[in-house]
């Protein structure tokens, strides 16, 4: 579960950073990080 929690945090942080800099659809980015 530790690895999964870390991956989720990385995804959320990336999405939040991208949203603040340049608002874009979150759904386009989340699946990419989850698959990797």
- pLDDT on residue 6: 85
Residues of the domain holding 22: 2-35
pLDDT of res. 17: 64
The predicted model scores a pTM of 0.37
Cβ neighbours of residue 14 under 8 Å, at least 6 residues apart? 29, 33
Domain count, the chain: 1
Q: Which two tokens stand for residue 19?
A: 């949203």
Q: For residue range 1-36, what is the model confidence (pLDDT) as tens digits?
A: 678 888 888 877 776 665 555 555 555 555 555 554
């Amino acid at each position: 579960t530790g690895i999964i929690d870390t991956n989720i945090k990385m995804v959320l942080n990336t999405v939040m950073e991208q949203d603040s800099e340049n608002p874009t659809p979150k759904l386009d980015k989340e699946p990419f990080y989850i698959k990797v």
